[in-house]
Amino acid sequence: MRVADFHFDLPEELIAQSPPAVRGSSRMLVLNRSKREYRDNFFRNLPEILQPGDLLILNNSRVIPARLYATRARGRNTQASSPDPSGRIEVLLTQQLSEHEWAALVRPGRKVQPGERLHFAAHDDSAPLLEAEVIAAADYGERTLRFAPTLEFRAILDRIGHMPLPPYIHRGDTPEDRDRYQTVYNHESGSAAAPTAGLHFTPEILDQLRARGVQIETITLHVGLGTFQPVRVENVEDIHLHAEHYTLPASTAEAINKALRERRRIIAAGTTTTRTLEHCAHIAAADAFEPHSGLQLHPHSGQTSIFIRPGVQFRVVSGLLTNFHLPESTLLMLVSAFAGREFTLSAYAHAVRERYRFFSYGDCMLIL
């Protein structure tokens, strides 16, 4: 199977550049997998569509202001405190590796090599608030940074960092994005991009779902390179994702196990939630002493680089809420694995004809 098999034509004007004026007011295309039908709807009607007894799983990861702008210290391998005014360096923190070390994407990467020191300030002419040394380099601008120790790292990051809006949003971030590029149920800080299917939920809609009899639980997957790194190979079989950190809490594992025993639907809000649940199911199946005793998930934390593509069996997820994804992306491949490639691309073509809004700040699909 080729990456080009997941191409579709998308007019650029359909790429949402800002969130809807009111959270929760997005359109929602509802897909029925068994009947191969889809119909137009609105996200606000989700509580009427889901059924009592459904289990809805949300990703509660919080987006950090992970985009920073740096200047290079004068000279390599130096402790000099004066910045080099030769150009601004963009740094996107993608994953915390240890107390002071972070994986990052650096642009332009060719300028920043191991041994370089970067200064991060609130303004170009102000004293640096953070300093980091580049300690490792990989392809495509991937770098490992070691920050000088400071007790106020997170506070400084909140002060000088920018919300990491995706590159297809052609504007700088605004104060509004601090709220709107974040779910209302975010709790665990660590993502470099939003779990965008969750951006549609409001406290009121969550209350309506609970009143309907829908059980709601959470997992955590910190979104990093594994979710949004571009595909650079031709064959789907050659794709390898970066690892991302996740946590499956005890209450969620227990709720999933109970829902599986009772054959109730498990609805994943987003591809990040789906990847986490299916990764945990894969571990549980591999560890099972009795292959036919039923799947039992256990609470734990870990790393996942799972890549879900057509042909992969879903062990946990029976419903998927997701935004519309980029052509030829691994996320579109995941959706195609769940709903079927031809059916998914047909639904996408319908969404283009009906002028749905695409990508992070766009509309959504509910696949049942």
How many distinct structural domains can be found in the chain? 2
Q: What is the pLDDT of residue 123?
A: 79
CA gap 46, 145 in Å, rounded = 43
Contact 327, 8 (CB under 8 A): yes
Q: What is the pLDDT of residue 223?
A: 95
Q: What is the pLDDT of residue 81?
A: 47
Residues in the chain: 368
CA gap 277, 266 in Å, rounded = 10
CATH code for the domain in which residue 71 is found: 2.40.10.240
Mean residue pLDDT across the chain: 93
Instruction: Please indicate, yes or no, if residue 203 is contained in any of the structural domains.
Output: yes
**What's the pLDDT tens digit per position in 276-290?**
999 999 999 988 665
Check pLDDT > 60 for residue 34.
Answer: yes
**What's the pLDDT tens digit per position in 325-346?**
999 999 999 999 999 999 999 9
Q: What is the mean pLDDT of residues 293-317?
A: 94
Instruction: Please indicate, yes or no, if residue 173 is contained in any of the structural domains.
Output: no
Three-state secondary structure along 251-295?
HHHHHHHHHHHCCCCEEEECHHHHHHHHHHHHHHHHHCCCCCCCC
**What's the pLDDT tens digit per position in 212-242?**
999 999 999 999 976 667 899 999 999 999 9
CA gap 194, 222 in Å, rounded = 9
Q: Which has the minimum average pLDDT: 206-215, 228-237, 260-269, 296-305? A: 228-237
Instruction: Please indicate, yes or no, if residue 166 is contained in any of the structural domains.
Output: no
**Does 89 share its domain with 195?**
no
Q: What is the pLDDT of residue 291?
A: 55
The conformation of residue 138, written as its DSSP 8-state character, comes to: -
The single residue listed with the structure tokens 């996320």 is: 331
Q: Which has the minimum average pLDDT: 122-126, 169-173, 291-295? A: 291-295
Q: What is the pLDDT of residue 315?
A: 97
**Does 55 share its domain with 78?**
no
Q: What is the pLDDT of residue 99?
A: 94
Q: What is the pTM of this model?
A: 0.94
**What's the pLDDT tens digit per position in 169-218?**
999 999 999 999 999 999 999 999 999 999 999 999 999 999 999 999 99
Instruction: Please indicate, yes or no, if residue 168 is contained in any of the structural domains.
Output: no
Instruction: State the residue range of the domain holding 82.
Output: 67-160
**Does 259 share its domain with 200?**
yes
Residue 9: pLDDT band with limits 50, 70, 90: very high
**What's the pLDDT tens digit per position in 80-107?**
445 455 578 999 999 999 999 999 999 9
**Does 201 share its domain with 343?**
yes
Residues 6+ apart with CB under 8 A from 252: 57, 217, 218, 219, 299
Contact 181, 199 (CB under 8 A): yes
Q: What is the pLDDT of residue 296?
A: 95
**What's the pLDDT tens digit per position in 69-80?**
999 986 544 444
Instruction: Please indicate, yes or no, if residue 253 is contained in any of the structural domains.
Output: yes
CATH code for the domain in which residue 270 is found: 3.40.1780.10
**Does 189 share its domain with 294?**
yes
**Does 129 share its domain with 222?**
no
Residue 251: pLDDT band with limits 50, 70, 90: very high
Beta strand 244-248 pairing with 319-323: unpaired
